[in-house]
Amino acid sequence: MNFIKNILKSRTEKDEIFFVEIKKIIGFKPNSLKYYKKAFTHSSVKKTTSSGKSLNYERLEFLGDAILSSTIAIYLFNEIPLGTEGDLTQMRSKIVSREHLNEIGKDLSLINHIVSNVPKKNFGNNIHGNIFEALTGAVFLDKGHLACEKFIHKTVIEPYVDIERLEGKITSYKSVLIEWCQKVKKRINYEVYEDTGNDALKHFSVKLFVDDEILSKGRATSKKKAEEIASKRAYYKLQDVITL
């Protein structure tokens, strides 16, 4: 009887709109909105349970990351029967890379649904991938493993995964450059310095040197990103001579 009452219990107009939006994103009707509400709740809201536990997307992000990784691993295992452990690991890394998940989160416009006390313009790029992982975790808890696999196939594998294309995709231009420089006995160095400029967020600029010559520059909100941007620019300058 209580179960029937819960089904018949009317949702608020706001919840009804959220229900429709989530249904469009995941491809089927959600059973319980509580998981999805949590998946879109940023820690800046400082929402807690009655016992004081934090209510935000971070735990769901952890869960979603693990489920994505295992689902992609199973897919690759079946699709590439002759792939070695190293091959499969590299392929999985490319598919579930932060850059790739950020792309997916952006394409799904997930940031439009986030509840936060931080202006959206102040979020780093990784917010898109973080929310996508949290949403994956929410689908798993709400609908179960099989439904979550279908969600991952619909949002990740079918629209984005091309085995042949991914086999030639570079996931780290910095790693490629370092390996090449070691091979041809060249010195590579990254000079990083803080560069806030007129931006509200702190930025870092990078100069990439090869044999003491500035080859490229990069600028981003983290040192790692700035180094990767500089590395990508350097790679395209040197791609005719780089062999690994």
Residues 150 and 194 in one domain: no
Residues 184 and 160 in one domain: no
Residues 143 and 38 in one domain: yes
Residue 234 included in any domain: yes
Number of residues in the chain = 244
Using DSSP, state whether 46 is helix, strand or coil.
Answer: coil
Residues 143 and 102 in one domain: yes
Taking a C-beta distance cutoff of 8 angstroms, is the pair 175, 243 a contact? Answer: no
Could you report the per-residue pLDDT of 47-102, keeping only the tens digit for each? 887 787 888 999 999 999 999 999 999 999 999 888 889 889 988 998 999 988 99
Enzyme catalytic residues: 65, 133
Computed over every residue of the chain, the mean pLDDT equals 88
Q: Which residue segment(s) compose the domain that 57 sits in?
A: 11-164
* Lookup: tokens for 236: 């395209």
* Lookup: tokens for 34: 């509580």
- CATH code of 224's domain: 3.30.160.20
* Among 115, 141, 164, residue at a domain's last position: 164
Residues 145 and 215 in one domain: no
Could you report the per-residue pLDDT of 181-236, keeping only the tens digit for each? 999 999 999 998 877 666 667 788 999 999 999 999 998 888 888 999 999 999 98
CB count, 10 Å around CB of 211?
11
Could you report the per-residue pLDDT of 101-121, keeping only the tens digit for each? 998 999 999 999 999 998 888
* Among 130, 147, 164, residue at a domain's last position: 164
Residues 184 and 125 in one domain: no
Residue 6 included in any domain: no
